[in-house]
Structure 1
């Protein structure tokens, strides 16, 4: 039933999300394994997918990563954020001790844990008035507890976590305090951040490039690259004759760019058939309608030309290397001949001098 609760949490989270939603999230990591080094605890804050702050157990101070944060927001706020970060550092240590106490895996007890906590609040709606949130806990990469904000209780996601869940829910104020922060405190400061970050978070429409390559007489691979878009969620797919969706053979993760935008490439393999047409369809928050980019014969020609150019380039490199090797061999041969003749001349001259002395 607890796992079902967790699935329900995520499903409802998707239902309340909208095109105008924004998120404020924090990732906390504690490494208690032997030789973990310093810092053993780190916390990173994000507005949507833009990193805004960082804290670790070495500096024990919140470091601001956007220039306007230090000049435009009351310094007392960041002092408060540092205190909150220090509180969570202590909380992580308590959770680690609980894990060691309640989990049955002796190997993990001896080797220590990497504890990860993800705390997230999301605002949606035209005026960003709808607030939701969640909190997840993972040990060594496995989720084991989540906060169900609808019933203000923690739910276990694996058998070993049931005892911990009972203990945490016995401290009723713990779950309620986290829920209050998500729905009240988070909302207050989130709106301040969003006000300053309007331009940074403004949707940017994707650029799209398509190309194809003949793998054989029977098979052709098609590639669609969508790039330079923000925010992150996007849907990219190939269509045959404008109506038939082609399941993707290869899809890269949505990758970030340094400028805060994203890219993704979707590839499919199709039968080589001159009667069919292909197009890449892209749906994104920045677009009013689906962006459709058709694959043309020129795109295929560019691909083939590109292959030929690559082949010619490789051939030219081989020829140049061979010419250099031939030049070196010729130089060594001439040098050897020159030294041989010079040696012979010196020897002849010495013999002539000996005859003259006699």
Structure 2
């Protein structure tokens, strides 16, 4: 029963199945999260669904209602409002049933993992279900279950069973596969119905998926222990893929020791900040180069002269401090010598 609900949910919530671009292909991704106890600001249970980069739908225990997270203007021209309402009602019903199933499975896994149910403990159960339609027409996919951020169970599509990824999950696998016997159905869905859903909704959501939003860019600087850091913040762009790098004197790339992560914005766009550490050099120029599919040409944002002047001010200030320190040291030495000279004169007298 629980697995049937899972399959139907995946089918009916395809407005929200997550897909990421992969070399011209498309992906459905479906993410479930459950936490053990109520926590301020977090639903105890949630489903987030995407098509490619597009977050399309969600369900949470706070509202207990399935929601579409995309504009319905284009869909209403294809699907009447009444049909959409029935669609959401069915999604809600199956999500509510799946919520109960996932609660039971989390408790089962925690019991075998010797996890306590103390309210001071924060435990998180996550399930990821993915199917992929590759550019050459082949299909693939995977399913994973994690507890407290660590993957513990995965679907083995060859043996068509769930297998342990961590040693601690080994003791429960036989009972888990008997109690939650849905590996066969999940594999079939992954390779068949899920792929058909990708093709269907690519048509419905083509306008959303093909939209392009150009990045906005800001550059700034800050001081660090070993020099100066230059920051390039690109934000508000879509789709996700972007290249951001710092260039010195118009030709030399400056490599960053910090890994830059592309992060989602609430409006469905993305952002990234790339920072590099430099040693200020008078006359050197620095610029941030941003390459994105929404741009006809690469966007080049120079580190403005007003900002560079801060570098030069730093250089000048450092030099001035050295001069003042040298001057003060000279006066100190001169005073000491003069003082010793007067002392010797006094002794001679």
**TM-score, normalised by the number of residues in structure 1:** 0.63
Q: Distance in 1 between matches of 2:218 and 2:111?
A: 55
Counterparts in 2 of 1:125 and 1:34: CA distance versus 1, 3 Å: closer
Q: Does 1:81 align with 2:88?
A: no
Check conservation: 1:212, 1:303, Cα contact below 8 A.
no
Q: CA 1:84 to 1:20, structure 2 compared with 1: closer, same or farther past 3 Å?
A: farther
Find 1:295's aligned residue among 296, 302, 315.
302
Q: 1:103 pairs with 99, 105, 113, which one?
A: 113
Larger Rg: 1
- 1:47 Cα shift? 2.2
SS of match in other structure, 1:105: coil
- CA RMSD of the aligned region, Å? 4.1
Measured in 2, the distance between the counterparts of 1:257 and 1:110 equals: 31
1:104–1:160 Cα contact (<8 Å) kept: no
- The yes-or-no answer on 1:247 pairing with 2:251 is no
Q: In structure 1, what is the Cα distance between the partners aligned to 2:42 and 2:169?
A: 28
Unaligned runs of 5+ in 1: 1-15, 309-358
Offset at 1:141?
3.1
SS at match of 1:161: helix
In 1, distance between residues paired with 2:309 and 2:246? 21
Deviation, 1:268, is: 0.9
Note the 1:198-209 alignment, pairs <5 A.
198-204=206-212, 206-207=214-215, 209=217
> Deviations along 1:26-48, whole A, 9 cap, x unmatched?
22223333789996433222223
Gaps of 5+ in 2: 1-19, 314-349
Structure 1 counterpart of 2:171, from 163, 167, 184: 163
Q: Structure 1's 184 and 238: CA in aligned 2 closer, same or farther, altered over 3 A? A: same
TM (normalized to structure 2)? Answer: 0.65
SS in 1 for 2:208: coil
**Partner residue in 1 for 2:135:** 125
Aligned to 1:27, which of 28, 31, 56?
31
CA distance in 1, matches of 2:21, 2:286: 32
1:94 aligns with 2:104: yes
Contact 1:210 1:280 in 2 (8 A): no
Contact in 1 for aligned 2:260/2:274 (Cα 8 Å):
yes
CA distance in 2, matches of 1:119, 1:242: 45
> Whose helix fraction is larger, Structure 1's or Structure 2's?
1
